[in-house]
Amino acid sequence: MLPTQKYAFRNYGGTYQLQINSMDDLAGISDLDEPFWMATSAPTHQLVCDPKVLTYLDRDKNNRILSHDIRTANNWLHRVLRHYNAVNRQLLELNLDDLNTEDSDGTRMLTTARRILHNLKRPDNSPLMLADIQDQKAILQQGDRNGDGVIPPDSIEEEDVRTLAVHIMDTIGKVDDLSGVPGVDKAHLERFIACADGLVKWQYAHSAEHTQPLGANTAAACDLLESLKPVIEDFFRLCKVVSLNKLLRRDDPVISVPPEIFDTTDAADGYLKNAPIARPNANGVLPLKRDLNPCYADTIRRFMDDVVTPLPQLNMDSNMEELTEAEWQAIDASFNTYRSWLTSKSGGEVEKLSLEQLETYLSGDLPQRLGARIDADLAVGAELAAVNDLEKLILLQHWFLPICNNFISFPHLYNPDKRAMFEVGRLIIDGRIFQLNIKVTDPNSHAAVAKSSGVYLMYSEVTGSDPKDKFFMVTPVTSRRLGRLGINKRGVLLDRDGREWDARVVKVVDNPVSLIEAMMSPFRKIGAMLAGTVQKLTSSAEKQIQTKLTSTGAKMEKGVAEGITVTERQSVAGSQTVAPAAPEGKSSRDLLLAGGVTIAALGSSFAFIAKTIASLKLHQALAVMAFGLGIVLIPVMVIAIYKLYRRNLSAILEASGWAINGRMRLTYRLGKIFAPRP
């Protein structure tokens, strides 16, 4: 029974969350609107727990746990249990006295639990362990019976029953069992028997004389008649048009053959097939011996021999010269009973089997023997369903409260002594411990959403002894300083089971980690910008110097070569040689002059500043310095505090596929919990 609920909320990280300490706190969860839940949807792979309990929770098998899945499980627990002590204590055993015998599911589980205890030769009041139930489940699933009511032919020992199953699959169809093997179920068996019975009765009705005017030749004769019916009826219709023209004294239209009909054989054949069977006349009679369309002459001859002449009630023979419309209608009406029999056909799905084979199945016990096997398998299914409910109950006893405390509320996330169910373990890297590590499927797509969290994020590739076990995880760096953390930094992941995994950082999302780093961030960016500028200037200067030296060296080599080849006449006239012109651009003297002026200006400025400071008293100088630092640092500090304050974890979970309602602010205390000192 669901008692009246009083909700209690507690502030975690700036968000009020429902306190869940026992099943009593969940009694009215069905009436708690989703906006008061921390999460309303989560992918199953994000919850680190027994995968079987997630299978029972995920009823629609979409690999997601939704709020209605939690509500359904909660209502079921409150319905089948009288006492919730085992759920509150998270036990992996079932006390039979806790089952509610006033509920049909509770009664069924109690009966099954006692049967299991009886098979184990234990007292009825003994607790039922999870291992006991799983052993019983394995026993029930042994052999060919798995409780799904589908019998594969290969599992049938009797050859005649196996043949029946094969015939059902070949005619009616097949259905896959739980393991994917095709077989026969109750519905297919019943459908087969119904079709066989209908087809046999239909075939016996065919043997009646009134349905077969020509005996065994009735079917072929009817098919021949049906092939001629459209053209014969078109002929009599055209005859009525000609008769009307004669009555109205109108001339019949002159029909000529288009010239293109003679171009190809296909065109000629098509023209003959579409032309009337004979020339329409006002008398409304079809000539049978002459003036017939060559395309239908042989067919009309066979029609008279195989259909008209054998019908004794018509008193017609193949020597008839003409056929009137009334005679045609009488011939056509002779097959009406046969046509009605055809339309009443039943059981066509099994028509590929012989009538004798169908009669054998209907008169023998083979369907009953196959049905008995199906019923026995279904009985195992009913037993398995009860065993599955017992397994579900014990698993929910152990896991339901932790799941609710990691879905409806997140108190474990804020408790240093507990770990949230979406945490995969502890990361040891760079001499530090990081408690919060969450699995991700793709670092790039996750980072695109999670970067709005304002948290420094490390994405690691985690590998084990088996390369197939590789996965990725994200680690928020929430306290202290960044240190040497960065891409390609290696560490070790200790998962929740104590196993060690190799971890390598493959991607980072840069955000401030602490107040100092947040304040230094603008200066680091300015420093990086200046360093880049200096690097560019230095690189440019180096290139200019290198170019100048290369040019000077070339000129020196040229001058030496010219000096070697000078003549004595040039030596005598050397006093008259004109000095070379100075290179274009500024001379060294100009550069030295400009540099001197600049240095003098800077020196004067520093001298003025030093003189001004010297004229101040100590406290005045300190005040000026403090004021200057304050102008620079206070805005930087305010911005840094704001950036750290707006950090939240909800964006990280949302990037992993969660639907989060509340804003999970990353507080200073929480940051210390996630990254404690070793």
Which residues are CB-contacts of 446 (< 8 A; sequence separation ≥ 6)? 440, 459, 474, 655, 656
Length of the chain: 678
Is residue 518 within 8 Å of residue 644, measured between CB atoms? Answer: yes
State the amino acid at position 261 in one-letter form.
Answer: I
Q: How far apart are CA 212 and CA 193, in angstroms?
A: 27
Question: Among residues 105, 63, 45, 36, which one has the least CA distance to residue 408?
Answer: 36
pTM for the whole thing?
Answer: 0.61
Task: Report the range of poorest mean pLDDT among 35-49, 119-133, 150-164, 568-582.
Answer: 568-582
Angle at 544 between CA 542 and CA 548, to 5 degrees: 115
Mean pLDDT, to the nearest integer, of 461-488?
A: 87
Q: How confident is the model at residue 186 (pLDDT cuts 50, 70, 90)?
A: very high
pLDDT for 582 equals 47
Cβ burial of 666 (10 Å; 0-12, 13-18, 19+) is buried
- pLDDT tops 70 at residue 494: yes
pLDDT for 438 equals 94
Mean pLDDT, to the nearest integer, of 519-531?
A: 59
Express each pLDDT in 265-291 by its tens digit.
777 777 777 788 888 888 888 988 888
Q: What are phi and psi of 363, to 5 degrees?
A: -90, -20
Q: How far apart are CA 458 and CA 141, in angstroms?
A: 46
Question: Among residues 427, 85, 351, which one has the least CA distance to residue 196?
Answer: 351
Question: Among residues 291, 229, 279, which one has the least CA distance to residue 255?
Answer: 279
Q: Which long-range contacts (CB under 8 A, 24 or more apart) does 29-33 make?
A: 29/5, 29/70, 29/71, 29/74, 29/404, 29/408, 30/2, 30/71, 30/74, 30/75, 31/5, 32/5, 32/7, 32/408
- pLDDT tops 60 at residue 409: yes
Mean pLDDT, to the nearest integer, of 315-338?
A: 84
Which residues are CB-contacts of 110 (< 8 A; sequence separation ≥ 6)? 96, 99, 101
Question: Among residues 93, 7, 124, which one has the least CA distance to residue 408?
Answer: 7
**Eight-class DSSP state of 395:** H
Express each pLDDT in 605-626 by its tens digit.
667 666 666 666 666 667 766 6
How far from each other are the two terminal CA atoms of the chain, in whole angstroms?
48
pLDDT > 70: percent of the chain: 76
Q: Does residue 577 or residue 505 have the better pLDDT? A: 505
Question: Among residues 424, 523, 435, which one has the least CA distance to residue 479?
Answer: 435
pLDDT for 552 equals 64
Express each pLDDT in 67-76 by its tens digit.
999 999 999 9
Q: What are phi and psi of 183, to 5 degrees?
A: -160, -160
Residue 501 parent element (H or E): strand 500-509
